[in-house]
Structure 1
Amino acid sequence: MTVTTTAVEILRRLPMPDRRSELAAMVSEQFRGVLLMDEDERLEPTESVFALGMSSVLLVQAQERLSNLFGVDLSSAVLFNSCTVQQVTQYLAGEVLADLFTDERPVRRAAPKARTRLLWDDVLGRVYLDAA
């Protein structure tokens, strides 16, 4: 029995800054495979796959390949509206695989209203005193 590493596991093991480019490479590879592109042919991230000959039948194949690759159910309608590698990558990173792309740095919280109010009262009081 062989153990395979899923695409999600590969992404999870990468440092956060490298994940998006690897995801884009994975998406590009699936589109290139469906479009029967040669290894030396480049698929620009912003180029519409429909301009390269993607049909609705091929789009369903791409949807199935991406769904299998990431172990999720992707909507072919979303892929139809996201017709570039860049758009599909953004969709996957922002919605489908968002937990892999969440920045884990602490979120800076706004100052509580009472402290903000005191700060403004202090600033305005100084401005008023300086003007007098």
Structure 2
Amino acid sequence: MSVLASPRFLPGVMWADAASCAATGALQLAFTGALARLTGLPAPLLMGTGVLLLAYAAAAVFMASRRTPPRTLIGLVVAGNFGWAVACVALLMSGVFAVTALGTAWVLAQALCVVVLAELQWTGLRRTRSGGAMAAA
């Protein structure tokens, strides 16, 4: 059985999403001042998105731990992850903040991560049916 065909694929992706958001959110909250200085991003933005990421991580844990993945919620997550990536790029393109090279890397790393996760989540949704059974490949 391929990894993509595994019934645990979609929950596994949600666990990875939860872990990445928890780590990023915790870093942004624990080191807000230092990250603001190093990245050129405003401390309130880092703190606000850090809180949002931790709240989202808790929701992702809920979704990952269900016997049957909540498809509608995960579909919203896919849209939200693509939206986060667009917002990251828009933030950098806006020129509103004097973002440093490290800040650009920080924001682009988040954008890349959420695009990869969204694509994996979308793949997992396409491979599953409503009842949690695997769809025909």
TM-score under structure 1 length normalisation = 0.28
- Larger helix fraction of residues: 2
Which one has a bigger Cα radius of gyration? Answer: 1
